Amino acid sequence: MPHSYDFDLFVIGAGSGGVRASRVSASLGARVACAEDRPLGGTCVNLGCIPKKLLVYASHFQEDFAAAEQGYGWTLGPRSFDWPTLIANKDAEIARLNGIYGRLLEGAGVTLIEGRAVLEGPHTVRVGERRYTAETLLVAPGGWPQVPEIPGRELAITSNEAFHLPALPGHVTIVGGGYIAVEFAGIFHGLGASVTQLYRGPRFLRGFDDDVRGWLAGEMDKQGIDLRFDTNVTGIEKDGARLRAALTDGSSIETDQVFFATGRVPNTKGLGLEAAGVVLGPDGEIPVDEFSRTNVHNIYAIGDVTDRIQLTPVAIHEAMCFARTVYGGQPTTPDHADVPSAVFSQPPIGTVGLTEAEALEEGYSVDIYDSSFRTLRDTLTRSDGQTHMKLIVDSASDRVLGVHMVGPDAAEIVQGFGVALKCDATKAQFDATIGIHPTSAEELVTLREPTRRASPSGA
């Protein structure tokens, strides 16, 4: 019987979610095409997770050099940092990953189509001058940085441009309070730039545990990063070779670079979703049901383009669930509960489960266990950095509801505790686990007495 469509599945976007959905669907027998108008791998590979983490590694050597000399007997010779070398090496690694993604698609039998795909109906996609038809469409174009509409906004950069600056700025003004803002504040500071970070609210990292937010702010302030809360930029203008940013308090700041990290929006503009009948949310996001299906029965969406959790592993998880549901005969809904996450700030954050505020909002009475300490490595140095750990435990059931950490290796440590929370581990089971000594991680299984208790208001 001849096929009535060119493809069984047409995927828009070759990021982490789109590539995984394409490959797995093809392995289950679907005829798949995937369209992408930028380098393969999406934001994570090209302008996000991977290059960001490489820059974090680079920026941390200054602290490592100081620790080696101050406490561990090393004598280091003259040293300097060369930004172009770092960026060139980073670009070479990203190009290698782009090639790997291409070979993965090719090996899976996926037809890769270069160009921006535009929907012309529920089963029709145009790329350039060519039209393709497919029984099922999957929309996975990711997100895009947004810059507020202020005078001089064209003089600013976002994370897209930060990875390709020709030189390291002497002074960077970062506007925003999300994970991208605090990560790049640490990157530029560690590489030798002076950094001012502005945030419009009273404390950055909205949505994270309040103790974590306050702890990181204190550590960044100790490092010499100029944090200014309840402050925003109202306009930018050229001032000779530099920039001048006007602030909401009536003052201004001279700087070499203004970097907006004020959020990302779904990359749905110009995709033709309206022509296909797909309903969009107020910010351009695509609402979907529990199986990632839009309001149009044959069109699905995954990843940052939806209004769910914007993390690469989540997009990959949603892609796997989509493929199993549509082509594997196993209807599978993505599980967005207890998703571990990290902020590669300096010091980094690792977190999984509920924040204290979320636990109280959900009606739990909780026991709070927390600890702050200086890591063993730093005892021989002049560093005054502190690590902070916090457990949130349901008073009634003893189940651990949240694990939060600010300090070295936080992401690596919390990943393992994510498994524990997924298994509904109790505080008694944490207590019964023998710690690995001497490590920071052992602190999370040796917190014996709660430091305080909290109950929902009115309870």
Question: Which two three-digit tokens encode residue 266?
Answer: 């779904």
What φ, ψ does residue 249 adopt, rounded to 5°? -85, 5
Residue whose structure tokens are 């005892």:
379
Please report how the helices 210-223 and 179-190 are oriented relative to each other, as an axis angle in degrees rounded to 10: 20
CA 443 remoteness from chain centre: 26
Strands 233-239 and 242-247: antiparallel
User: First CA to last CA across the chain, in angstroms?
Assistant: 65
d(CA 168, CA 173): 13
Task: Give the 3-state secondary structure of residue 123.
Answer: coil
What φ, ψ does residue 38 adopt, rounded to 5°? -130, 180
Residue 426 is given by DSSP the state B
Cis omega (within 30 of 0) for bond into 347: yes
Of residues 283, 313, 280, 320, the one with CA closest to residue 299: 280
Report which secondary-structure segment, H or E, holds 368: strand 366-373
437 is catalytic: yes
Cα 351 to Cα 31, 343, 382, 447: the distances in Å are 39, 9, 28, 17
- Report the 10 Å Cβ neighbour count for 256: 16
d(CA 49, CA 358): 27
d(CA 174, CA 145): 14
CB 37 within 8 A of CB 116: yes
Question: Which two three-digit tokens encode residue 347?
Answer: 């010091």
Strands 124-127 and 130-139: antiparallel
Strand order in the sheet with 341-343: 341-343, 349-353, 400-406, 387-394, 366-373, 452-454
What φ, ψ does residue 122 adopt, rounded to 5°? -65, -15
Give me the active site residues, please: 437
